[in-house]
């Protein structure tokens, strides 16, 4: 049947044959083939020159789970080691909402302006293990720093155990230092274990706190406070100033109850406002006074050596654990032994021993 729209009355509305449309896919796409994998020397040379693109690519390798990437990454790290170490590493911790990103943005600009050099902001976020994504260290949270030519921001590596994530961040520190970043911030959320990991890789541990209900000391773990070289109470602005000052007094009193830190430095408590940029200079005067103090008394060097030792053992532990749990024979036996322990057929020790014996036998093959 003739379509009514093709009748004379509708002339002008008839559908003409269209013209051939070009493909929406870029025809030259295939020529822009995958990025060539750089060699170890190219990575190292690029990093030492301060090439940010190459540095980012190397960090991606460090974070990769693929064994072939890990092999290159380890070589790159080893070659970068002699160029590393020349920096001040600062851990910054605080519960979500404490104002870490606002503060790091302001702190970063301040130290770059005041002391020059280059700043890398890294992060350790244990929650990213579950969510497979991390917001800490995210560029969008640090608006001004993100566009600063002397800053390099990298979110937390997201895969693996806290130990694994922490190791990757530590390796990233080495790459950043080799690339000339002489100020390193490592951000973490104030929830416990991750602080210990950050504390084990920084020279100064800064704890951001808020004035709250008057019993803020109860909320924070003793261990975390003991790690702090400086406690800063944020949001000391508007009608919050008095409460912040009160909280500072309470923290100061609480700190007196702890044993004197090994560094010989008495941790200080300051109030500030990241949002309004108040009291920021005092914080960084304190940090740099600390650095001068511990460089003078030898603690700086001592702590870095202790940290290297700690990381050597951490690294051994992690690799042994991986090797054990990823051994195919062990993997198969694990759930069976676990079941036997749960059913009371085997004691935990006997089960562990038989698994380990199997593993050692496997290793001899």
Helix (H, G, I), strand (E, B) or coil at 147: coil
* From 89, 100, 118, 199, residue interacting with ligand GDP (rule: CB under 6 A): 100
Query: Judged by CB under 6 A, does residue 210 bind ligand GDP?
Result: no
Nearer to ligand GDP by Cβ, of 201 and 210: the residue is 210
CB of 343 to ligand GDP, least distance (A): 46
Q: How far is CA 304 from the centre of its chain?
A: 18
Tokens representing 215 are 């019993």
Please identify, among the stretches 166-174, 231-239, 283-291, 296-304, the one whose residues bind ligand GDP according to the rule CB under 6 A.
231-239
Helix (H, G, I), strand (E, B) or coil at 185: strand
Nearer to ligand GDP by Cβ, of 99 and 180: the residue is 99
Torsion angles phi and psi, residue 124, rounded to 5 = -130, 115
Query: Judged by CB under 6 A, does residue 97 bind ligand GDP?
Result: yes
Tokens representing 65 are 């789970």
Please identify, among the stretches 11-19, 83-91, 232-240, 345-353, the one whose residues bind ligand GDP according to the rule CB under 6 A.
232-240
Nearer to ligand GDP by Cβ, of 101 and 307: the residue is 101
Query: Judged by CB under 6 A, does residue 235 bind ligand GDP?
Result: yes
Q: CA dist 194 to 98, 164, 181, 183, 204, Å?
A: 16, 12, 23, 20, 15
Query: Judged by CB under 6 A, does residue 219 bind ligand GDP?
Result: no
Neighbours of 214 (CB within 10 A): 11
> Is the separation of the CB atoms in 108 and 283 below 8 Å?
no
Q: How many helices (H) and strands (E) would you count in the chain?
A: 15, 7
Please identify, among the stretches 98-106, 211-219, 289-297, 348-356, the one whose residues bind ligand GDP according to the rule CB under 6 A.
98-106
> Is the separation of the CB atoms in 58 and 190 below 8 Å?
no
Site for ligand GDP in 237-296 (CB under 6 A): 237, 273-275
CA pair distance 109, 146, nearest whole angstrom: 10
Please identify, among the stretches 75-83, 91-99, 260-268, 323-331, the one whose residues bind ligand GDP according to the rule CB under 6 A.
91-99
Nearer to ligand GDP by Cβ, of 193 and 354: the residue is 193
> Is the separation of the CB atoms in 267 and 261 below 8 Å?
yes
Query: Which residues are near ligand GDP by CB under 6 A?
Result: 94, 96-102, 234-235, 237, 273-275
């Amino acid at each position: 049947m003739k379509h009514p729209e093709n009748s004379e009355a509708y002339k002008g509305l008839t559908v003409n044959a269209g013209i051939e449309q070009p493909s929406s896919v870029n025809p030259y796409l295939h020529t822009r083939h995958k990025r060539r994998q750089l060699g170890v020397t190219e990575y190292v040379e690029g990093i030492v020159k301060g090439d940010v693109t190459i540095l980012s690519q190397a960090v991606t390798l460090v974070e990769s789970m693929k064994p072939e990437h890990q092999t290159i990454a380890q070589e790159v790290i080893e070659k970068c080691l002699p160029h590393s170490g020349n920096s001040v590493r600062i851990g910054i911790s605080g519960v979500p909402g404490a104002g870490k990103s606002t503060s790091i943005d302001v702190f970063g600009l301040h130290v770059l302006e005041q002391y020059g050099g280059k700043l890398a902001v890294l992060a350790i976020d244990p929650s990213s293990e579950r969510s497979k994504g991390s917001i800490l260290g995210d560029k969008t949270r640090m608006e001004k720093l993100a566009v600063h030519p002397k800053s390099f921001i990298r979110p937390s590596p997201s895969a693996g155990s806290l130990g694994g994530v922490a190791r990757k961040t530590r390796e990233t520190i080495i790459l950043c230092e080799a690339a000339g970043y002489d100020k390193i911030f490592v951000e973490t959320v104030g929830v416990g274990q991750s602080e210990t990991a950050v504390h084990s890789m920084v020279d100064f541990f800064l704890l951001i706190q808020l004035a709250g209900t008057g019993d803020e000391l109860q909320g924070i773990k003793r261990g975390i406070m003991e790690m702090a070289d400086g406690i800063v109470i944020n949001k000391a602005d508007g009608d919050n100033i008095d409460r912040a000052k009160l909280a500072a007094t309470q923290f100061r009193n609480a700190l007196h109850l702890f044993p004197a830190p090994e560094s010989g430095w008495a941790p200080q408590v300051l109030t500030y406002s990241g949002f309004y940029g108040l009291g920021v200079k005092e914080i960084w005067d304190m940090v740099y006074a600390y650095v001068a103090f511990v460089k003078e008394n030898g603690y700086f060097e001592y702590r870095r050596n202790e940290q290297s030792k700690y990381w050597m053992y951490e690294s051994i532990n992690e690799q042994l654990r991986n090797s054990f749990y990823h051994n195919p024979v062990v993997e198969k036996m694990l759930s069976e032994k676990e079941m036997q322990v749960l059913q009371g057929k085997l004691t935990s020790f006997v089960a562990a021993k038989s698994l380990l014996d199997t593993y050692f036998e496997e290793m001899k093959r």
